[in-house]
Amino acid sequence: MSNHNEILRDKLINSLIDKGIDDDKVLNAIKKVPREKFVPFQGYDKSYEDIALPIECNQTISQPFTVALMTSLLNVFDGAKVLEIGTGSGYQAAILSELKCDVYTVESIPTLYMNSQELLKKLDYQIHQKLSDGTLGWIEESPFDRIIVTSGAPEVPKSLLNQLQISGKMVIPVGDKIIQEMYLIIRESQDKYKTQRYGQFKFVPLIGAEGWAN
């Protein structure tokens, strides 16, 4: 990595620290993942700005601060079985892999599924991927220690709640199509869930049987 590139990555990490991200493991994972590979038409400099960027199929790669916050809220551990809903570019899955998670990710858009699969393999990330309706989760592989949803849902999909391990955590943005609130949901028992809220964000809609209609 050139000195210029190293400076840009350090600048991004310092920006995240200034905004309140203090999880060293998450910060190190973000620094390791080459974000420019996931937004190939944006150029290196723009790739390391703390902004969301467009990718194929009218989707986006989230702002690094949002990725860092959601990943910190998940509070993963080595070997955690994590389900991601909305693979997109594959960036979030790569970060979870850097955190030594066993990552399962579901994407409903064929182009994104194929492109992310090719890129993640090229970068040597060992990720389990599926082309399917993400709102229904991945029942065959459940339960999961952690679930992260990278699109805005009108409500929390029941299928995802049911696939969460007891004591497991889910991070999901919930609201209308304009603005969503970040939820951290903890499954305390078979039928009891606790929800904490962490501010407002804007995501593309979560499309599917238990999300928004296409």
10-42 pLDDT, tens digit per residue, is: 999 999 999 999 999 999 999 999 999 998 777
Residue carrying the six token digits 């509070």: 75
Q: Is residue 210 part of a domain?
A: no
SS3 of 54, please? strand
Q: Is residue 207 part of a domain?
A: no
pLDDT at residue 161, rounded to an integer? 98
Q: Is residue 168 part of a domain?
A: yes
pLDDT at residue 57, rounded to an integer? 80
Alpha carbons 172 and 70: distance in angstroms, whole number: 8
Q: Is residue 79 part of a domain?
A: yes
Helix or strand holding residue 11 (H, E): helix 3-18
What is the sign of the dihedral through the CA atoms of 50, 54, 58 and 60? Answer: negative
Which DSSP category does 62 fall into?
A: P
SS3 of 124, please? coil
- From the CA atom positions of the chain, what is the Rg in Å? 16
Q: Is residue 10 part of a domain?
A: no
- The tokens for 179 are 């603005």
What mean pLDDT, rounded, does the chain reach? 95
pLDDT at residue 1, rounded to an integer? 55
Q: Is residue 44 part of a domain?
A: no
In the predicted model, residues of the chain with pLDDT beneath 70 are: 1-2, 43-44
pLDDT at residue 47, rounded to an integer? 86
Helix or strand holding residue 69 (H, E): helix 64-74
Residue-number span of the structural domain to which 163 is assigned: 51-201
Alpha carbons 38 and 178: distance in angstroms, whole number: 25
Q: Which amino acid, residue 197?
A: R
Q: Is residue 12 part of a domain?
A: no
Nearest to 27 by CA among 63, 69, 77: 69
Q: Which of 2, 15, 47, 62 is catalytic?
A: 62
Q: Is residue 115 part of a domain?
A: yes
pLDDT at residue 202, rounded to an integer? 95
- Catalytic, 89? Answer no
* CATH code where residue 96 lies: 3.40.50.150
**How many domains in the chain?**
1
